[in-house]
Chains A and B, each alone.
Chain A
């Protein structure tokens, strides 16, 4: 057995210092507290920043704990609690959109369906809670990947399901960047031909994305039919999805936006 790895011990010490209070710390402060050269501390901070465990304030240059730590920490929202808190709003979304609703979280690079509301037409449907969906080919998955501080994109898993599935990692990264900036994602016949899904992020009080909520259904109902709207999710449905996501986020304590 090799002994403890010095740089990991030092990284842990830095994280422990940053978790000591609400305050942010600069490189010099951290170096003094740990009795280490500034250069060493700076190197460790850059690595921690790269994996999302610390963040640097653009104004002061000081460091604080990053979102990725919260994501993997014990404060991670229990999926059964997420479902309970989202119940009313997912029902409302199904009623307004007249489509089925799913809530998903990331699970080892795939989307785990944690809640499912039937399409409200009283037809026979099967509860899909517990099912796994491909992240790169579903709107839920794109929202989750786009807002995930830890890059879980595995180029080896970009299976093509239809001609429309995005299997190129670089192109997918560009799509995810757009999803992140506009606040919602769609999948237009990328998982199943003729089917479309639209999703938006659910955030908690720290602004961490804890899940995604979305609707899915046939392209004829979810997308515009002619002209430049063809193959684009209808604005009205997108707004319903985003309103539901905001309402759940608000209930979880996210700052209203």
Chain B
């Protein structure tokens, strides 16, 4: 795709990716080899109006996104003219509604972890069960998805429903909000749309029955496009820059890990953790609590589908340990503290802070620390915190193996927590397979950059992208009878601890 607004004499040497995440916005600039040449990052406020409620200020996020793009360019002393395109990846499901004329949000964005739609979701499930829409949209009824959040905003912001029906109030997930701010176009991509509960996985279009059931007017919805195409060109300080990809963060990581063949998958360790498995051009329905979602769609090519295992609390448990317990000063120090002891001392921590995600999907669960004795120190707790991430991965891998009928032989990992060697080794031990980190741990940004680069011809094909994938580290599982026994006992104890989280929330709990 060429553009007449850009100076043809300038060589477009780089691709930028915007990662609009849950806690911060980042911009990473990549070169043709897929190596990072510049990074800028800015955190935004987490707004907690009530227990269980989490909001973001969409205007603050937009300002931060512009800041980090310019910041990343400045660090390298390059300009927007050095960029061939920008791609976007984003926290999924976080929902913003804004005024189509003024561009002002009508309410703070409701973040994916927010549980305010709990009651609404229970009402919807009362009529046909939690899985009543699963065959159509691939998702169980749960608070995380965008559809119920839109409904809540329409019900609670005065005048919003009437104005949305006239197309005066628009909906978007963060990709849509940023593309609209950058280019003025109201579009989303198939991966983000697949997290709304409003899209038919087979047709990749908004579904009238789902819209009616959820009470969302079609006039407020963006057009659903592929994940890699030029949606428009930026105006303002990034004048002329092609905006050429949008992918939900987990799908972007799948793309960045070059999982382009059915059976290839990855797990990204961030605030939460997400295991995605490429299932090819047909959606696979899960019998074991996994989600069916769109993996990516490149331009006019058929969509690629994925099975997803979502774990709510992994990295955020380490943050909680740091901020709420104050036992460490920074997140990486948990490894130092955990290494002060040799094992968990019999202590297990199930962080069901907002219920359990895959494969249990139990909103009535809350966290427990099981196996406490007088012997337990903060070092054991640190171990239990890290091990929780590994055991939760084990549960999801087991479900994935059952659904896909294929045994996982290697786990490709990425995300910030892969810097934690103790965790990665433990993960390999409990899964009993090698764990491999690629040379770019920032696969989320890389995936958005790859998709944008394909759209503008910066990279010729997905085969060229595979050439960039290299193993940066590998952790091998402990072997032998003793290791097997330890693994089996640990998993048994973990499952017992999980049982103890359930049925905690009662009718009179807020």
Contact = CB atoms under 8 A, between A and B. Distances in A.
- Asked whether A and B interact, the reply is yes
A118 B35 contact: no
B440 A84 contact: no
Interface in A119-137: 120-122, 125, 127, 129
A85 B472 CA distance: 16
What class of interface size applies to chain B in its complex with A? 20 to 34
Interface residues of A, number: 24
B477 to A, nearest CB: 13
Interface string A71-108: 00000001111011101110110111000000000000
B35 to A, nearest CB: 4
A117 interface: yes
Contact of A91 (B333, B335, B336, B439): B439
A118 B419 contact: no
A120 B336 contact: no
B442 A94 contact: no
Given A95-B34, A117-B439, A80 B473 contact: no
B402 interface: no
Nearest to B38: A247
A120 B473 CA distance: 10
B441 A87 contact: yes
B333 A81 contact: yes
Given A78-B330, A80-B333, A118 B36 contact: no
B316 interface: no
Given A78-B333, A78-B336, A88-B39, A94 B439 contact: yes
A118 B472 contact: yes
B130 interface: no
A94 B472 contact: yes
Interface string B106-126: 000000000000000000000
Nearest to B33: A95
B152 interface: no
B441 A88 contact: yes
A142 interface: no
Nearest to A116: B473
Most chain B beta-carbon contacts within 10 A, residue among A79, A88, A94 = A88
Contacts of A81: 330, 332-333
A88 B36 contact: yes
A83 B472 CA distance: 14
B416 interface: yes
Given A91-B440, A118-B473, 13 more contacts: A78-B330, A78-B336, A80-B333, A87-B416, A87-B419, A91-B36, A91-B441, A95-B439, A95-B440, A117-B472, A118-B472, A127-B473, A127-B474
8 contacts: A78-B332, A88-B441, A91-B440, A91-B441, A91-B472, A95-B33, A96-B33, A125-B474
* Those 3 A-B pairs whose CB atoms lie nearest each other, nearest first: A120-B470, A81-B332, A80-B332
Interface of B: 33-37, 39, 330-336, 416, 418-421, 439-442, 470-475
